[in-house]
Amino acid sequence: MRAVVFDRPGMENVRVMDVEVPRPSPNEVLVRVKYAGVNPVDYFTINRGGKPMPHIPGAEFVGVIEEVGSNVRGVGVGDEVVIYNRLFDGTCRYCLVGHEELCVNSGLIGVVTNGGFAEYAVVPTTNVLKIPRGVGLDEAATLPVGALTAWHMVFDRAGVKPGELVVVFGATGNVGSYAVQFTKLASAVVIAVSRKASKVKGALMELGADYVVTPEEVQTLVNELSNGLGADLVVDAVGQATWNLSFQLVARYGRWVTAGALTGGDVTLSLPSLYSREVAVIGSTGGTRAELIKLLDLLSKRRIKAPIYSKMSLDRVREAFDTMFKAEDRAGKVLLAP
């Protein structure tokens, strides 16, 4: 099979080559990959290294089951499936209450195992979910990283409420574009922030943004809309580059939530500014299997949209990463089609 492979860290070491098709163990399935989402986690895996080495990245993918292990029940050959990418043991205190994303033996498919940037991949049957009728494989491929992370952030962790003023930084990204949708789904007033606001305004407003502004403009707008009080909720998966601004925007008794540190993870926090305003700083990582099932249902009922920017072949993997990071008009997912 053809696969994206690197044998040492660094994007310059990525190549597409023929490798052996993996065989499923008794509790695994072999998936013929149809689409794989391109995400920052894949970029960091390539640049930091994965397991095993040489390594096939790809933490977000969908496909059709080609073969099942001897112990597999509930799914079969020919089923269209999406992969829940968080490995979990199912027995720790967090798994037992439905928070697989916090499993003490957790890891990501595509990071600690070979992933979906290939024609075939093997995954545990516990990580396979059937795609409902009416949901396209390409649409489902946008869910396991971007959509799931955003859903868990804004609903489970931050508890967005109707009528709240919400600011979403990195609104054109894989997480941000879904965070815009989900906060609007909750009937919030949504400000989408992007450095390329003029080029993506239409796309973000179609996803539910009420306002689309640059980082330089957002403070003034928040003050106008809140009578100087600030935003009830700030969603920021960008990291260091936006921290100072995004934290300043939070109203007294407001919330600031993050699920990523794309531009760096070290920030300076003023404790008096935190406690005197009673601001809640909230961390979030991934999401649960139940939440991914919920997202599939919402997509099947057309309650949400799958924002797809472009589709590329495996041979264009480096171009795909360049597009994700640099395309001035991108507001949605870049997919690889093995």
Q: What is the CATH number of the domain that holds 255?
A: 3.40.50.720
Compute the average pLDDT of residues 55-73.
98
pLDDT in tens, 249-279: 999 999 999 998 888 888 998 899 999 999 9
Q: Is 152 inside any structural domain?
A: no
What mean pLDDT, rounded, does the chain reach? Answer: 96
Residue 186 shares a structural domain with residue 253: yes
Is residue 75 within 8 Å of residue 130, measured between CB atoms? yes
Residue 130 shares a structural domain with residue 252: no
Residue 138 shares a structural domain with residue 239: no
In this structure, what token pair is assigned to residue 165?
């003023």
pLDDT in tens, 121-175: 999 999 999 999 999 999 999 999 999 999 999 999 999 999 999 999 999 999 9
pLDDT in tens, 1-50: 999 999 999 999 999 999 999 999 999 999 999 999 999 999 999 999 99
Residue 189 shares a structural domain with residue 277: yes
* pLDDT the model gives residue 262: 83
Q: Which domain holds residue 70?
A: 2-143+287-336
In this structure, what token pair is assigned to residue 221?
């707008």
Tally of CA atoms within 13 A in the half-sphere of 272 that contains its CB: 0
Residue 16: which residues within 8 A CB-CB, separation 6 or more? 2, 3, 4, 5, 314, 315, 317
**What length does the chain have?**
338
* pLDDT the model gives residue 263: 85
Residue 185 shares a structural domain with residue 304: no
Residue type, 247: F
Q: Is 150 inside any structural domain?
A: no
Q: Is 181 inside any structural domain?
A: yes
Residue 56 confidence (pLDDT) above 90: yes
Q: DSSP character for 298?
A: H
- Final residue in a domain of this structure, among 283, 305, 325: 283
Residue 228 shares a structural domain with residue 316: no
Q: Is 53 inside any structural domain?
A: yes
Q: Is 71 inside any structural domain?
A: yes
- Final residue in a domain of this structure, among 240, 266, 283: 283
Residue 17 shares a structural domain with residue 79: yes
Residue 29 shares a structural domain with residue 89: yes
Q: Is 153 inside any structural domain?
A: no
- Final residue in a domain of this structure, among 257, 283, 309: 283
Q: Is 31 inside any structural domain?
A: yes
Helix (H) or strand (E) holding 150: helix 148-151
Residue 178 shares a structural domain with residue 270: yes
- Percent of the chain, pLDDT > 70? 100
Rounded Cα–Cα distance for residues 117 and 119 (Å):
7
Q: What is the CATH number of the domain that holds 327?
A: 3.90.180.10
Residue 56 shares a structural domain with residue 129: yes
Task: Please give the tally of structural domains in the chain.
Answer: 2
Q: Is 86 inside any structural domain?
A: yes
Rounded Cα–Cα distance for residues 50 and 48 (Å):
7
Write out the E strands in 61-197.
61-68, 80-83, 86-87, 107-108, 120-124, 128-130, 165-169, 189-193
Residue 121 shares a structural domain with residue 179: no
**pTM given for the model:** 0.95
Residue 93 shares a structural domain with residue 172: no
